[in-house]
Amino acid sequence: MKEHIMQNYFDEIVNSTVELIKFDSSMKSAEDGCPFGKETAACLQYFLSLAESFGFETKNYDNYIGEVLFGKGEDFAVLAHLDVVPAGDGWKYPPFSGVINDDVSAGGVTGKKIWGRGTMDDKTPAVVCLYALKALKDSGYKPSKTIKLIVGCNEECGWKCIEHYNKVAVMPKQGFTPDANFPVIYAEKGILHFTAAFPIENAPFTALQAGQRANMVCDLACATLTRKAGAKLVYYENPIAGTTFSYDNTTNILRVRGKSAHGSTPAKGANALQALLYFFSTFNADCKKAYDVLFDDCLGLKAMQDETGILTMSPDVASFENGVLKITTDIRFPSTHALEEITGKLEEAGINFEIAHYQAPLYNDPNGELISTLTGVYNKVTGKTEKPIAIGGGTYARALECGCGFGPEISGEEDTIHQPNEYVTFDRIRLMSVVYYEAIKEIAKPKYHRLGWVKPVYKK
């Protein structure tokens, strides 16, 4: 069988991915024209310089977001992102080193892989899409559309990159994002981050801090206990699986460690905040109220369900100040339900809360041209007969009038996104290289190539 053209670029893809992984592009404070920190801006510049070296026109929109342009005609977006969530703890290899080996002791399947934060979410897919454009360009392919490979720098924490792009440029109406699952995502749940405030009388702690990001399952929660609370630890047995307690009698600090995961899939992690709050709930009524609402779901929010799945809740960030415990929760709700169904129940229960972030659900016709075309490409490349699916995660597809998620994850395989020891296998790089090349080639063909030639009719 003839080797696919993308195999010629494999080594370059791996090398470029490793270089991108070395940038800690998690969100930092703005400085000197770098809205998300200098290292994130440097990561963007590296990517755009690489594209320029291939002969592509590029644009850097004030270090918020950039784009690579290929072809002429109607715009079509390939939306990726270069920012990452914080690395967190529990890594076997440094998260920003791009180590390559075939180790399976840290998790993962056999075969070579690249380790590092952003390997799957979303630096490798961004690099692969760039090299797919290069391969098409090198082969002499003339797309009938303008392919805009847009790379944002704030997808994980606020989408200010997309807001800025919409101010200074024109977003294509149609496109895909290589930041989800194969075969194709036709629907995404709604996203709600809300911060609830719970006054705590006779608080069993004088300080409390937990979590890093609202969309990451809390893997570390710490509290400075009162002496009475510390004494209760002597005979306490922690029932929350996957979490561990560590108490320092000298400082009265209790540390609870868990396992991080994506906020849309809380069951894949072990929430340290849940274990900490459950301990306090066993002897403090106000803590029990917070636990009952956010973890035990006494309001019945998780009963919401449709074809896109059930509502998930992941309380991930907490702080304590002036007698008030504030907890930020990540909710992913089914696409056919409304935000008001959730906020209404919180209001009825008398919960004091503020909305920190909201994105409406995404729903596309699973039989529409874009979804059908991408599904067909994936099935042709893999020999499968997959159908479009729905997910709980939120992607850049929502930034488009008609957009969808398209790889690189595959349902049923190990998911390390937002977790320690994130990796991408060489086999997955090879697969997405062929799929993205063939998808862009198919989408950008003149219509008579895809739909069949129509003989012109000439009038005499």
* Whether residue 421 sits in one domain with residue 355: no
Structure token pair of residue 2: 């003839």
We report the CATH number of the domain holding residue 48 as 3.40.630.10
Average pLDDT, the chain: 93
Res 245: pLDDT: 98
Q: Is the dihedral of CA 76, 82, 86, 89 positive or negative?
A: positive
458: in domain: no
Structure token pair of residue 116: 């590092």
Report how many domains make up the chain. 2
Listed residue (315, 83, 86) closest to 193, CA to CA? 315
* Collapsed DSSP state (helix, strand, coil) of residue 451: helix
83: annotated active-site residue: yes
Q: Which of 359, 387, 412 is the last residue of a domain?
A: 359
Candidate list 83, 121, 219, 438, residue with the active-site label: 83
Candidate list 24, 67, 122, 155, residue with the active-site label: 155
Res 130: pLDDT: 98
Q: Which residues of 4-13 are buried (b: 16+ CB within 10 A; e: fewer)?
A: eebeebbeeb
302: in domain: yes
Structure token pair of residue 361: 């659900």
Q: Does residue 102 have a pLDDT over 70?
A: yes
Residue with the two structure tokens 């609870």: 256
Res 412: pLDDT: 84
* Whether residue 377 sits in one domain with residue 318: no
Query: How many whole angstroms separate alpha carbon 37 and alpha carbon 359?
Result: 25
Q: Is 447 exposed, middle or buried (0-12, 13-18, 19+ CB in 10 A)?
A: exposed
* Whether residue 117 sits in one domain with residue 234: no
24: in domain: yes
Q: In percent, how much of the chain has pLDDT > 90?
A: 85
403 forms bridges with which residues in the sheet?
175
* Whether residue 233 sits in one domain with residue 115: no
* Whether residue 172 sits in one domain with residue 257: no
* Whether residue 235 sits in one domain with residue 170: no
- pLDDT tens for residues 241-291? 999 999 999 999 999 999 999 899 999 999 999 999 999 999 999 999 999
We report the CATH number of the domain holding residue 261 as 3.30.70.360
More confident residue, 335 or 286: 286
457: in domain: no
* Whether residue 339 sits in one domain with residue 195: yes
Listed residue (306, 265, 276) closest to 417, CA to CA? 265
Q: How much is the average pLDDT of 174-178?
A: 97
Query: How many whole angstroms separate alpha carbon 234 and alpha carbon 282?
Result: 14
* Whether residue 391 sits in one domain with residue 279: no
* Whether residue 113 sits in one domain with residue 48: yes
254 forms bridges with which residues in the sheet?
223, 247
155: annotated active-site residue: yes
Q: Does residue 391 have a pLDDT over 90?
A: no
* Whether residue 161 sits in one domain with residue 78: yes
* Whether residue 157 sits in one domain with residue 108: yes
Q: Which of 310, 333, 359 is the last residue of a domain?
A: 359
* Whether residue 79 sits in one domain with residue 105: yes
455: in domain: no
48: in domain: yes
For the chain, count helices (H), then strands (E).
Answer: 11, 24
Q: Which of 307, 325, 359 is the last residue of a domain?
A: 359
Which domain does 86 fall in, by range?
Answer: 5-186+366-449
